[in-house]
Amino acid sequence: MLHILRHSPHAQSCFASCLRTINAGQSLLLIEDAVYGLFPGTSSRSALEYLPATVRLYALDVDLQARGLALDDVPTRATIINYAMMVELTVEHHKVVSW
């Protein structure tokens, strides 16, 4: 299952709600303002890093760069993808939940 989060961790309770319901072995893709969750030194980044090791973490390249997060600053466990790869991700996962 692929979870897609789009809201800023600071503005919307769905960031935390999504993290509470992610199971081991699932995937999480951050798009739009949810990429702010990856900023170094934030509690949201810690929460993302503490996800079970089997959770695969992705972030959309243009949304990161548009918002000023240097790709070098993205945690190593996160894979940076483009829209074509996002399509592939949705094909690989039977189910997509957008938060």
Q: What does each C-alpha distance from 67 to 18, 31, 38, 60 come to in angstroms? A: 22, 11, 11, 11
Q: What are the percentages of helix, strand and coil residues in the chain, rounded to 5?
A: 40, 20, 40
Q: Which is nearer to another protein, 76 or 84 (CB)?
A: 84
Candidate residues 27, 28, 30, 45; the one interacting with another protein per rule CB under 8 A:
45
Among 47, 51, 63, 79, binds another protein (CB under 8 A): 63
What's the CA gap between 50 and 76, in Å, rounded? 13
Residue 30 and residue 32: Cα distance in Å, rounded? 7
Give residues in contact with a copy of itself (CB under 8 A). 10-13
Q: Interface with another protein by CB under 8 A: which residues?
A: 1, 4, 6, 8, 10-11, 13-14, 17, 20-23, 31-33, 36, 39-43, 45, 62-63, 65-68, 70, 82-84, 86-88, 90-91, 95-99
